[in-house]
C-alpha cells in the first residue's frame, strides 16, 4: 500500500483539464496580472503537481503565521517553511477580496489564476529569526525574504500551464514517482536530498540506507541555489555517472525536484521530508548540517528537530547519519560511531580545497570522490 500524501487525503493536482485551458486563457486576458519571480515559479510548479500537498494555493496570513510561529498549518498538519506570493503595495491595494488575478512568468505568459483570499504584510525580522534563526542579511534565505515585494497575496490556484523545466526525462511528478515505485514493487523507498555532486561519503549514506529499504530516490534540487553552487546540469551528469558505475540500476531512481533552496537548516529538513513523502518515499536521509549555510546552525540541529514532531503526523521516517569519511585505518568508509582511528587517518577535504584542486586539473583522492565524478567536475571547472 503506497504511503498517503502529507496530511492524508488525495495527492493535490491544481491543473485545469486541457479542454478548459483555452477558455480560461481568454478569461485571463482582461485580468490584473502579477509576474512571479524564479522562486515563486518553482513554488507554483510544486503546488500544481502535489509536491506541496495538502496546500492548494499560496498561503494566507493565518496559514503563514501558524507555520512561522508553530511549525504547523491551522488544523495541526506539520509544515515549517512559508510558501508565499509577494506583490508591490500599489498592486495589492488595487485588489478586492474574491477577485481573480492572472499569474505570469517573466515573459508575460499566463501560468495560473489565483482567487484573492487575503492580502497582508509580515514582520520580516520576526519571521527571519523564527524560520532561519538569524536576521542577518548575509544569510541567503534572509536576504531573499528581505528583498521580496512588500505585500503577500494568499488564495487558491487554478494552474493553466507550467513552464517547460530542465531535464524533462528526469522531471518526474509525485504521481509518476509513486507509479514507478509501485511498478518496481518497492514498499519502502528512501530519498536522498542533494544540491551537490555525490561524493564517497554521500554514496556511503545512500548505500547504508539501501540496505534497509527496497529502493533509493536520488532527488537533487534544480530550483534556485546559491551562485557558487555547482550548476544543475553538471551535477546531473555526475549523478548519472555514479549510478551507472556504482549502483544497481534496478534499485535507484534519479529524478529532479523543482524546488528552490531556502537554507533554513532544521526547518528545511522537515520541509524536504514532507515533499519526499508526497513523492511516495517512506524514509528520508538527514545528514550533517542538512540545508545549512555558514555557521548559522548546529551540526546536528536538522536531525534533532524531528523529535519535535509527532512521527505519525509527519509520516516519513528520518534516517539520521553521523559525518562520514574514508578511514585509512579500516580501509573503508566510516564514521565516529564505527572507527577508533585518529583524525589524521580520516580523509576529509574542505569545499575550498576541492575547488582549488579541480581548477588546477588535479583529481581529488579516490577516497574522497569517484574518478568519473572528479573528471566531470574538472571539465566543468575548466569551462568556467
Annotated catalytic sites, by residue? 195-196
Residues with Cβ < 8 Å from 42, sequence gap 6 or more? Answer: 223, 224, 258, 259, 260
The 8-class DSSP code of residue 131 comes to H
220 beta partners: 194
Output the DSSP codes for 66-129. HHHHHSB-TTS-B--S----EE-HHHHHT--TT-EEEEE-TT--EEEEEE--EEE---HHHHHH
Per-position b or e across 315-346, b if 16+ CB within 10 A of its CB: bbbbbbbbebbbbbeeeebbbeeebeeeeeeb
Q: Cell match 574514508: residue?
A: 326
> Residue 255 and residue 172: Cα distance in Å, rounded?
6
19 and 11 in contact (C-beta within 8 Å)?
Answer: no
- Give the 3-state DSSP-derived string for 153-174, with helices as H, strands as E and coil as C: EEEEEEECCCCCCCCHHHCCCH
Amino acid at each position: 500500500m503506497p504511503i498517503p500524501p502529507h496530511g492524508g487525503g488525495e495527492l493535490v493536482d491544481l491543473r485545469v483539464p486541457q479542454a478548459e485551458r483555452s477558455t480560461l486563457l481568454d478569461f485571463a486576458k482582461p485580468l490584473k496580472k502579477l509576474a512571479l519571480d524564479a522562486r515563486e515559479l518553482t513554488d507554483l510548479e510544486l503546488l500544481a503537481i502535489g509536491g506541496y500537498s495538502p496546500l492548494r494555493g499560496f498561503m494566507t496570513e493565518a496559514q503563514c503565521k501558524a507555520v512561522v510561529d508553530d511549525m504547523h498549518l491551522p488544523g495541526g498538519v506539520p509544515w515549517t517553511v512559508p510558501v508565499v506570493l509577494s506583490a508591490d503595495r500599489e498592486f495589492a491595494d488595487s485588489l478586492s477580496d474574491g477577485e481573480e488575478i492572472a499569474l505570469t512568468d517573466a515573459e508575460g505568459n499566463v501560468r495560473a489564476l489565483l482567487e484573492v483570499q487575503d492580502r497582508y504584510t509580515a514582520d520580516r525580522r520576526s519571521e527571519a529569526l523564527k524560520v532561519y534563526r538569524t536576521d542577518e542579511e548575509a544569510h541567503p534565505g534572509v536576504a531573499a525574504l528581505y528583498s521580496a515585494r512588500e505585500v503577500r497575496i494568499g488564495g487558491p490556484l487554478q494552474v493553466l500551464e507550467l513552464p517547460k523545466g530542465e531535464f524533462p526525462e528526469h522531471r518526474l511528478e509525485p504521481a509518476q514517482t509513486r507509479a514507478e515505485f509501485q511498478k518496481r514493487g518497492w514498499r519502502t523507498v528512501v530519498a536522498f536530498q542533494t544540491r551537490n555532486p555525490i561524493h564517497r561519503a554521500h554514496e556511503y549514506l545512500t548505500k547504508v540506507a539501501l540496505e534497509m529499504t527496497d529502493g533509493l530516490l536520488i532527488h537533487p534540487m534544480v530550483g534556485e541555489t546559491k551562485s557558487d553552487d555547482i550548476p544543475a546540469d553538471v551535477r546531473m551528469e555526475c549523478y548519472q555517472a555514479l549510478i551507472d558505475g556504482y549502483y544497481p540500476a534496478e534499485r535507484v531512481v534519479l529524478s529532479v525536484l523543482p524546488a528552490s533552496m531556502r537554507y533554513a537548516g532544521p526547518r528545511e529538513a522537515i520541509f524536504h521530508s514532507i515533499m519526499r513523502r508526497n513523492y511516495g518515499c517512506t524514509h528520508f536521509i538527514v545528514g550533517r548540517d542538512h540545508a545549512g549555510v555558514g555557521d548559522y546552525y548546529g551540526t546536528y540541529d536538522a536531525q534533532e528537530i524531528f523529535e519535535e514532531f509527532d512521527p505519525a503526523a509527519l509520516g516519513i521516517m528520518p534516517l539520521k547519519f553521523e559525518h562520514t569519511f574514508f578511514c585509512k585505518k579500516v580501509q573503508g568508509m566510516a564514521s565516529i560511531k564505527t572507527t577508533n582511528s585518529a583524525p589524521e587517518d580520516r580523509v576529509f577535504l574542505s569545499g575550498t580545497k576541492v575547488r582549488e584542486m579541480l581548477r588546477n586539473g588535479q583529481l581529488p583522492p579516490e577516497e574522497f570522490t569517484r574518478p568519473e565524478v572528479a573528471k566531470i567536475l574538472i571539465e566543468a571547472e575548466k569551462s568556467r
